[in-house]
A and B are shown apart, each in its own frame.
Chain A
Amino acid sequence: DAGVIQSPRHEVTEMGQEVTLRCKPISGHDYLFWYRQTMMRGLELLIYFNNNVPIDDSGMPEDRFSAKMPNASFSTLKIQPSEPRDSAVYFCASSLGLGAGIFYEQYFGPGTRLTVT
């Protein structure tokens, strides 16, 4: 298995531009998670999906952030418009579910390093 795949690996953009991050989870995993990692705030859960349905988006910082999962093998995280404070590493992770909202271990993708200038 190729593991969780993310693209792009690096993104540099100017403030105000739209940024789209992409993720392909491990086949068969029914949970998908988007995280953001910064030095100041550590690793934060932004949103997670179960069977393509968003379950908890309480970590999404602002309306500028949106996430979709149109099918079981693809998800996007979009930032529009982007701001310098959005600069971070964004990780996608996937896992099997044990039922009743209990997750098994999450497998992380390589991350997308976003720099907004």
Chain B
Amino acid sequence: ELKVEQNPLFLSMQEGKNYTIYCNYSTTSDRLYWYRQDPGKSLESLFVLLSNGAVKQEGRLMASLDTKARLSTLHITAAVHDLSATYFCAVDGSKLIFGTGTLLAVQP
């Protein structure tokens, strides 16, 4: 059974700092997705990673996928308060399995 783990579960960081969220998964897959969820809101697609070595960047966020290590990272550069949200990775096995989410709080 595919399991998806994210860490950390909670991340409090100051504006201007860099940090990385990790997403590990248990079985082979070369398709991984990152989503953002604001409190009380729906999920918004951030990145779709469809092959080993894929790297996508949008603004201060960069996502990468290493299928051999079964690891994806979401790197935050020079965080700003607007990035505060919960971030989910989701891995495509026989169905999409979501990680536990990482609650990111960027302090001004």
**Contact residues of A with B, CB < 8 Å?**
33, 42-45, 48, 56, 59, 91, 93, 101-111
Q: Is the CB of A111 within 8 A of B42?
A: yes
Given A43-B88, A103-B92, A105-B33, residue A91 in contact with residue B43 (CB < 8 A)? yes
In the complex, given contacts A43-B43, A56-B94, A106-B45, what are 14 additional A-B residue pairs having Cβ atoms less than 8 angstroms apart?
Answer: A42-B101, A44-B98, A45-B95, A45-B97, A48-B95, A91-B42, A91-B43, A101-B94, A103-B96, A104-B48, A105-B33, A105-B45, A106-B33, A108-B44
Q: Is B70 an interface residue (CB 8 A)?
A: no
From 18 to 55 in chain B, residues with beta carbon under 8 angstroms from any chain A beta carbon are: 31, 33, 35, 41-45, 48
B98, A42: Cβ atoms closer than 8 Å: yes
Main secondary structure of the interface of A (DSSP, over half): strand
* Shortest Cβ distance from residue A95 to the other chain B in the assembled complex, whole angstroms: 9
9 closest pairs, A vs B, by CB? A43-B98, A108-B43, A105-B45, A108-B42, A105-B48, A110-B42, A45-B95, A111-B42, A42-B100
Contact with A45, one of B33, B35, B48, B96 (Cβ below 8 angstroms)? B96
Q: Is the CB of B42 within 8 A of A102?
A: no
Chain B contributes a number of interface residues (CB within 8 A of A) equal to: 18
A102 to B94, CA, bound (A): 9
Closest CB of chain A to B97's CB: distance in Å? 8
Chain B nearest Cβ from A42, distance in angstroms: 6
